[in-house]
Structures are given as structure tokens and as C-alpha cells.
Structure 1
Amino acid sequence: MASRNLDADFVRSSLEDRESLFNRLMQKHRTGRKKFLLHRLTVASRLSCGAADRRAVGDHYERLIVGLQRSRAGEDVTGLLLLYPQHALHVIECSTEALLSVLKDLRHMEENSGLILDPRILLVSHDLPSRLFQHWNYKLLDESDSRQTLVSDEESPEKLVSHTLHQLLRLGCHLYNKTQQITGSKTIPDEVLKDATDAVPPQAAVCRLLQMEALLSPERYISTYHSPLHQRLDSESVWPAVEHLQIV
């Protein structure tokens, strides 16, 4: 009987060791994949420069993206920057580390009155299965570049955010089909958007989005991202209460 118990303990111990090793390998695998996860960041903002100087914003992000890709070989940064006369919409697809670098750059510009003012995050989509944008490009827009020049004040904030994101997805799909026409150029030719003007969010929509208090700034998002989760553990919710179990 003692021998059987020893054998059972040995088998149980061996299985626990195998499970522990498996868990360690899976944890190592997950840790190794983190930097290759694909995220999509969508940001609205105001421009501090005039309409004639908007190329400086495009040049700034081009330098930032080139630097990120050089420091992280194999991790491309793709997306689209729409530069209106007074506002901007930026969609960036990148890894976790690159995403944090872009957010920190936005925070730095906001704190130091840089090219971008009052940036607000519309959406961050995590762990995407594939890219929508094959390159990073930017486009200088005028008011006439969008058919929808008016935005109803009665439209709810949730619907406005959803409609703007839907337009950006449609625009991304359109550019995906026009990949050959924009390959090798950072700026999008005018003829590429001729058939997709209704997919370009109007500047009036961006202006309204920036008035929504619910949208997080880069500073608040980074702070929330790094804050620990204060969740109540199951062990803290027991009955009877711990103080009732104390022996007097």
C-alpha cells in the first residue's frame, strides 16, 4: 500500500512538473509575441500651423515612422494622415512599442505646443489579424475634398464617432485597392480620392469630435494604460466575514 502511494505521488509530481514547464513555455511564447501584436490607433487633433505649413506635420511623422522602423526591424508602421486646413485625423497601424512611442510623441507635442494640439483618441484596436493600410501616407485636404460639408448638431457623439470610424475604414479599403498608385509616394495623388470623396470625414466632424470630453488625451490614455488594475479578489469576498471567524 505504501509503495502504491509513493508511485501515485511520483506520478502526480511528474504531471505537475510537466504542466509547470508547459505553462512556462507558453508564457515565454506569449512574451515573445507581444512586440509583434498589431494595433490600430485613430487620433483627431487641431493643427497649430497654418494651412500653407501643413507639410511640416507630414514631414514630422515621416521622420518619426522611419526612426521607429529602423529601431525595430521587421515591424512596419502603416496608416493614413489626413491634414485639413485646421485639423488632422491620423490612423496608425503598428506594434505595441511603436504605439507607445507615437502616444508619447503626441503627449510631448501637446505639452510643448507643438505641431499637434488637443489630440484626442477615437479608438485603439488591439491584436488585429491583418493590416488595412499597406503603407503610411498623408493627404492635404481642402473643404471641397468632402461631399458632406455639414454635420448635424443633433447627431449623438456615439453615432458621430462610429460614422467617422466607418468612413476611415471605407477609405482604407479604397486605398488598399489603389496600392499600386500610391506606392513609393508619401503623399496621396488627387486622382486616387476622386471616387472616394464620400469616405473622407469632413473637417466639421473632426471639430465636433474634439469637443467630446469622453475622448481620452494621450496623457490620460498612457496613465490609464500603466495604472494597475485594482480588482477585488474572490478571496476577499468570503462568507462569513473574516472578522467573524476570529476566536475571542
Structure 2
Amino acid sequence: MANLVTDSVPRGTLLSALEEKRRQQMKKYLLHRLFFVAMLREEVLDGEITAYHEQLFQRIQKFHLGEPASGVVLIYSRCILHILEASSGTLYHILTDLAALEKQGPKALLQDVKIVVMSHNIPTRLFTQWYTTTVDVPVTLEDVTQSQTTEEVITECLTLILKLGVYLATLKVGNKGLSECLHNVVPELLVPAETIQCLCRAKECLSPAQFLEMYSNPLQPSMDSETVWPTPAHMFK
């Protein structure tokens, strides 16, 4: 019986470990995953948000050939939840475009954009392709986010997103996107609209401009003693 139990446990070999290491080194680029939320402008025309994302990704693909982006945009009545998996260069273009939208003020299509989390060097994609879908969920009578910390709200949000990604991986999705309404099939896996609105107001989450500023800052800032003149000298030799 002990032999049967031992044989049933999968064991890795040195060869498989070396092959996996080689596959990681042969990657053309590292894969990252970006989560961000945003409120929609007061008056949004039908299809305007979908057209915006299509134009954005068509422009990015011209500069990053061979680096496909995958993910999903969940469009609610007043907000959106965006999950994007791509290379660092693609994500940088996305963040730059979002930062430019912020400068448009009230005229911008997306308002109060907040970066929820950035996952670096993920081993595999959670989404097999890129698509957009509209979500129609009823407003809950009780907003549970009022009694939760921002960390708890983010944890709950990411948990639902990962479960939704696992569910979508089992579906056969065509080029036109999802053929079924997620709010009718798996309403328990959808992030409530109140949660997204709470994250858009969270001061702990950075805006695209703040995120890019932090990204551009050096890891080792210069000290005050390095910029004064004349250079400081020891009092005693």
C-alpha cells in the first residue's frame, strides 16, 4: 500500500527543472497583469467605451508586434473594471494613455481611474484572449464596503476576478466576445458595482499619473550631501 501511495505522487526531475528554466529564459518578454478601475463620464454614448478600447489596442499592436494582449473589460452602468495581461511596454502605453485622459478633466471618458494592483512576471495568462462585455447587476440595498478597509475590498475584488478568470477559461469564446450574459450565468463571480466605486474613491490606490511618476523615480535617490558645494570635508584628518 505504501508503494502505491508513493508512486501516485508526481515527482519532478532535474531534466524537467532545467527544461522549465530554459523555457523561461527563452521568453520574448515577461508577462505582467494590470488591474484598474474607473468611473464613466456622466453621459456616455452606446458603444463609446468599446470603440475606445478597440482603437487603443489597435494602436498598441502597431508598436508591439508579436506581443498580444489578453484580458477583459467589464462595463457596468457607471463604472468599469479592466484586467490586462501584456508586456511591460504595452502596459506602459496603456498607463500613458490613461494619464493623458486625466488631463481632459470632466470631458474624459474615464474618470477617477485607479490602479488596483500590478502583478509582475506572471507564469501563465488567466485569459486566453481579449474581449469586452457589458455587465448588468442590480444595486445592492446594503453597501458592505463602508464597513471594510481598502485592503479587504481589494482582496475580495481580486478573489472574485481570479474565480471569474478560471470560469472564462472553460468557455469557448469567439472573436466577437462572450455570447452569454455573465450576470445571468455566474452573478456570484461578478464584482459588485459598489466595490468598484469604492476603489475609485480609495486614496490608497494610485492614479495612472502617480503610478508612472513612481515608476520613473530612481530606486536610489541622491542625498542632500551629494548635491551641495563645496563637498563636505572631515573636520579632523
Q: What range describes the TM-score normalised by the shorter chain of this pair?
A: 0.7 to 0.9
Q: Which runs of 5+ in 1 are unaligned?
A: 1-29, 237-241
Q: Secondary structure at the match of 2:74?
A: strand
CA RMSD of aligned residues (A): 2.7
- Give the superposition deviation at 1:138: 1.1
AA of the residue aligned to 1:85: S
| Corresponding pairs, count | 204
CA distance in 2, matches of 1:136, 1:95: 14
What's the counterpart of residue 229 of structure 2? none
AA of the residue aligned to 1:128: I
- Give the superposition deviation at 1:141: 1.7
Matched, 1:137 2:128: no
Matched, 1:157 2:150: yes
Q: Percent identity?
A: 25
Q: Is the 8 A contact 1:50 1:85 kept in 2?
A: no
Relative to structure 2, which stretch is displaced further, 85-94 or 189-198?
189-198
CA distance in 1, matches of 2:142, 2:59: 36
CA distance in 2, matches of 1:105, 1:220: 13
- Give the superposition deviation at 1:231: 6.0
- Give the superposition deviation at 1:147: 8.1
Q: Is the 8 A contact 1:170 1:199 kept in 2?
A: yes
Q: Is the 8 A contact 2:36 2:116 kept in 1?
A: yes
Compared with structure 1, are the counterparts of its residues 166 and 105 closer, same or farther at alpha carbon in structure 2 (3 Å cutoff)?
Answer: same
Which one has a bigger Cα radius of gyration?
A: 1
Q: Is the 8 A contact 2:135 2:183 kept in 1?
A: no
CA distance in 2, matches of 1:149, 1:54: 29
CA distance in 1, matches of 2:77, 2:220: 43
- Give the superposition deviation at 1:193: 5.3
Compared with structure 1, are the counterparts of its residues 203 and 74 closer, same or farther at alpha carbon in structure 2 (3 Å cutoff)?
Answer: same
Compared with structure 1, are the counterparts of its residues 192 and 82 closer, same or farther at alpha carbon in structure 2 (3 Å cutoff)?
Answer: closer
Q: Secondary structure at the match of 1:190?
A: coil
AA of the residue aligned to 1:141: V
Q: Is the 8 A contact 1:132 1:173 kept in 2?
A: yes
Equivalent residue for 1:82, pick from 44, 68, 74: 74
CA distance in 2, matches of 1:148, 1:102: 35
Matched, 1:204 2:204: no
Q: Is the 8 A contact 1:148 1:198 kept in 2?
A: no
Compared with structure 1, are the counterparts of its residues 93 and 224 closer, same or farther at alpha carbon in structure 2 (3 Å cutoff)?
Answer: same
Compared with structure 1, are the counterparts of its residues 173 and 159 closer, same or farther at alpha carbon in structure 2 (3 Å cutoff)?
Answer: same
Q: Is the 8 A contact 1:54 1:83 kept in 2?
A: no
CA distance in 1, matches of 2:69, 2:140: 30
The structure that is helix-richer by fraction is 1
Compared with structure 1, are the counterparts of its residues 92 and 202 closer, same or farther at alpha carbon in structure 2 (3 Å cutoff)?
Answer: same
* 1:12-91 aligned within 5 A: 36-50=29-43, 53-91=45-83
CA distance in 2, matches of 1:221, 1:243: 40
Relative to structure 2, which stretch is displaced further, 77-86 or 109-118?
109-118
- Give the superposition deviation at 1:152: 4.0
Q: Secondary structure at the match of 1:177?
A: coil
What's the counterpart of residue 215 of structure 1? 205
Relative to structure 2, which stretch is displaced further, 66-75 or 124-133?
66-75
AA of the residue aligned to 1:185: K
